[in-house]
Amino acid sequence: MIVGVPRESFPGERRVALVPAVLPTLAKAKCEVLVEAGAGDAAFYADAAYVEKGARIAASRAEVFAAADAVFQVLGHGANDKTGRADLPLLRRDQVLIAFLRPLGSPESVKEIAATGATAFAVELMPRITRAQSMDALSSMATVAGYKAVLLAAATLPRMFPMLMTAAGTVTPAKVLIIGAGVAGLQAIATARKLGAVVSAYDVRPAAKEHVLSLGARFVELPLEAADAEDAGGYAKAQDETFYRRQQELLARAVAESDVVITTAVVPGRRPPC
């Protein structure tokens, strides 16, 4: 089997679907790897690093798709709503595509991929179970997003995050509100706390309170009762518009009192509620 790794085409995307370190594992499974020239450059993996681990370098994107039995991408058509459509003519029947595809948010894109005859696997639909934990790309990316969001906020906010005691007086710590206490939200809480901020968090799921408190943050409780707030996979369920209007009204005070508000809440297949 030939595994193809094209260069990511989404504007500003710096990730690459395979790093050189995993190539020996694929070689043991009798797989050849074909990497588009420059695919790893933005992630600081030179072509030479892939060649050293046994990969071949393709001169063009079309060459990768033409030769590969399985194509590995970070953002496939659907998740890549800017340039992903250009890959559709390159896909063929019985070829396998593995990537983030945003199938719930962009079902038309999934139909377009299916029309090519290729078999597609959306990595964000990997079940959140112990056996599949090493393949849980969604959670790992959510961790990065939660961490980075706090760093960006700290760099942008025109005041310091921690409490500072100086000869000129005391600077009180920044107040950070995190909306959504899933993987990204919990990482954001932990990072903001490490930077010295006073952190509060809100989540529609009552079970999230324990996780928030365990990280040293205050849990914002609202006099709202959500029906079936959590699905079997641990994700929040969508609520009706009346609930969201009341939620926004009640959260307004917490938002107004905060220096930074980071929204991480998400409902699979729906627009983010924040």
Residues that are catalytic: 128, 133, 136, 139, 235
Buried b (16+ CB within 10 A) or exposed e, 32-56: bbbbbbebbeeeebebebbeebebe
Whole-angstrom Cα Rg for the chain: 22
Residue 26 has a CB neighbour count (10 Å cut-off) of: 18
Which tokens sit at 145? 């997003």
Which tokens sit at 206? 């009552």
Element (DSSP H or E) covering residue 194: helix 183-194
CB of 116 closer than 8 Å to CB of 88:
yes
DSSP character string of 119-163:
EEEEGGG---SGGGGGG-HHHHHHHHHHHHHHHHHHHHSSS-SS-
Angle ∠(84,88,89) on CA atoms, nearest 5: 135
CA distances in angstroms from 54 to 21, 35, 70, 182, 225, listed in the order given? 11, 11, 17, 39, 57
**d(C-alpha 86, C-alpha 96), whole Å:** 17
Residue with tokens 């790093």: 19
Element (DSSP H or E) covering residue 71: strand 70-75
